[in-house]
Chains A and B, each alone.
Chain A
Amino acid sequence: MSTKWLTRLQILLTFFLIVSCFGALSMLFSTVVIAFVGTTNGTGVPLRVFDVPITGMAAPDAVIKSASADVTVLPSGPAPLVGLLFLLLWAPGVVTTLLALFTVVRALSRASAGDRALFSAVTAAHLRRLGWILIIGSLATGLLGVVAERMLASMLLSRSYPFYAPPGEVLAGVVAGVAMLAVSEIVRRGLALLEETEATI
């Protein structure tokens, strides 16, 4: 079968991987600046704010029940602890994304060697690894994010909340991870069937 589109997908994902690496480096640079230099108009810490004033925002025949907003807070002067917490806020998600992309690119790199190389135990192992990366990475991102956001909010905002719900991406990541584990098992069992057929004379 033609593997042209898979090769193109691999090139596209490799490009995304490189861009993501640069993005991660720039985030790391921003974190270092926040921690040791201080920013006055550069990158700040993104936080969620609830109970935003909403007076006069609703149309005459509508009522706004609750509101939340994303704010970017710039700590004045060097703030090592804020930098560390900011690192915990973004790094797990970014590392999970980079590892997942790298695993997919590695799995797709076998496509050029033919269908039999792609539909193999190595690909099943790559998919299983991808599944666990997504599950563990998403859970770590959610857990560390909740703790880091709670502490950052108490340090940088005049009013904070005891619990900040993790974003929906965390659940999506876990679901995608479980799906990858299922696909890996399907490939593994399909391979066993194929080997059985191939070994029949």
Chain B
Amino acid sequence: MTDPTIRVRLDELLKERDMTLTELSNRVQITVVNLSILKNGHARAIRFSTLMRLCDALDCQPGDLLRYDRP
């Protein structure tokens, strides 16, 4: 049985906006490595400042970025 997780929907949002991870990295000034960690669900926590920059660059709400996955 897998644990419930918070998933960062970066993949979907990037696809919808036809944007690459490198482009997003340049816009939000977060390294591609750290964005990959977020995208792949390996991050333990996310700062409000990071969330704000991502929402700003992707023109979305925090709720659009995060999703709670039940097992």
Binding site for B on A (CB under 8 A): 195-196, 199-201
Contacts and interface: CB of A to CB of B under 8 A. Distances in A.
A195 B37 CA distance: 14
Interface of B: 30, 34-35, 37-38, 42-47, 50
A200 B46 contact: yes
Contacts of A201: 30, 34-35, 37-38, 43, 45-47, 50
Contacts, number: 23
Nearest to A198: B44
Contacts of A196: 44-45
A199 B44 CA distance: 5
Nearest to B34: A201
6 contacts: A199-B44, A200-B43, A201-B30, A201-B34, A201-B43, A201-B45
A201 B6 CA distance: 14
A16 to B, nearest CB: 42
A196 B43 CA distance: 9
Contacts of B44: 195-196, 199-200
Most chain-A Cβ atoms within 10 A of its Cβ — which of B34, B38, B44, B50?
B44
Contacts of B46: 200-201
Nearest to B42: A199
6 closest Cβ pairs, A-B complex: A199-B44, A200-B45, A201-B43, A201-B34, A201-B38, A201-B50
Most chain-A Cβ atoms within 10 A of its Cβ — which of B37, B42, B45, B46?
B45
A199 B30 CA distance: 14
Contacts of A199: 37, 42-45
A200 to B, nearest CB: 4
Contacts of A200: 43-47
Contacts of B45: 196, 199-201
Contacts of B37: 199, 201
Most chain-B Cβ atoms within 10 A of its Cβ — which of A199, A200, A201?
A201
A195 B45 CA distance: 11
Nearest to A200: B45
Nearest to B35: A201
A180 B51 CA distance: 42
A159 B50 CA distance: 80
Contacts of B50: 201
A41 to B, nearest CB: 70
Nearest to B38: A201
Given A201-B38, A201-B45, 10 more contacts: A195-B44, A196-B44, A199-B37, A199-B45, A200-B43, A200-B45, A201-B30, A201-B35, A201-B37, A201-B50
